[in-house]
Amino acid sequence: MTDKPATTPDRRAQIDAFARRHYFRWPEALPWLAAIAAYFVFDSYHALGAQIFATILFALSLDLLLGYAGIITLGHAAFFGVGAYTAGIMAAHGFSEPLTELLAAAVVAAMVGFASGVVVLRTVGLTLLMQTLVVAALLQELANKAHFITGGSDGLLGMTINPIFGVFRFDLYGDTAYVYCLVVLFLGWLLARNLVYSSFGRSLTGIRENVGRMHAIGAPVDRRKIILYTFSAALAGVSGGLIAQTTSLVGLGALSLGRSGELLIMLIIGGIGRLYGAFIGVPLYMIAQDRFAAIDPVYWYFWIGLFMVFLVVFARGGVLGVIERWRVGGSRE
**Residues 151, 8: Cα–Cα separation, whole Å:** 66
Sign of the torsion formed by the C-alpha atoms of 321, 323, 324 and 328: positive
The predicted pLDDT at position 174 comes to: 82
Q: Which long-range contacts (CB under 8 A, 24 or more apart) does 261-266 make?
A: 261/74, 263/55, 263/58, 263/59, 263/62, 263/76, 263/77, 264/62, 264/66, 264/74, 265/304, 265/308, 266/55, 266/59
**In this structure, what CATH number is given to the domain that contains residue 213?**
1.10.3470
Give 134's contacts (C-beta < 8 A, 6+ positions apart): 75
Residue 170: pLDDT band with limits 50, 70, 90 = confident
Q: 152: which DSSP letter? A: G
Neighbours of 163 (CB within 10 A): 13
Is residue 99 in some structural domain? yes
Partnered with residue 69 across adjacent β-strands are: none
Three-state secondary-structure class, residue 198? coil
Give 48's contacts (C-beta < 8 A, 6+ positions apart): 174, 286, 290
Neighbours of 77 (CB within 10 A): 31
| Low-confidence winner among 1-15, 75-89, 166-180, 223-237 (lowest mean pLDDT) | 1-15
Residue 19: pLDDT band with limits 50, 70, 90 = very low
pLDDT digits (tens, 9 = 90+) for 118-154: 999 998 888 999 999 999 999 999 999 988 898 888 8
pLDDT digits (tens, 9 = 90+) for 69-79: 889 899 999 99
The predicted pLDDT at position 173 comes to: 77
Is residue 19 in some structural domain? no
Cβ atoms 101, 91 nearer than 8 A? yes
Is residue 84 in some structural domain? yes
Is residue 190 in some structural domain? yes
Is residue 300 in some structural domain? no
Q: Which residue has the higher pLDDT, 11 or 31?
A: 31
Cβ atoms 85, 105 nearer than 8 A? no
User: Does residue 324 surpass a pLDDT of 80?
Assistant: no
Q: What are phi and psi of 6, to 5 degrees?
A: -70, 150
Is residue 147 in some structural domain? yes
Neighbours of 11 (CB within 10 A): 11
Cβ atoms 309, 268 nearer than 8 A? no
* % pLDDT > 70, the chain: 91
pTM for the model:
0.89
**Residues 176, 288: Cα–Cα separation, whole Å:** 24
Residue numbers of the domain that contains 96: 27-280
**Listed residue (79, 151, 83, 86) closest to 115, CA to CA:** 79
Is residue 89 in some structural domain? yes
Is residue 56 in some structural domain? yes
**Residues 268, 281: Cα–Cα separation, whole Å:** 7
User: Does residue 15 surpass a pLDDT of 50?
Assistant: no
**Listed residue (21, 14, 45) closest to 199, CA to CA:** 21
- Domain count for the chain, please give it: 1
Residue 210: pLDDT band with limits 50, 70, 90 = confident
**Residues 83, 103: Cα–Cα separation, whole Å:** 9
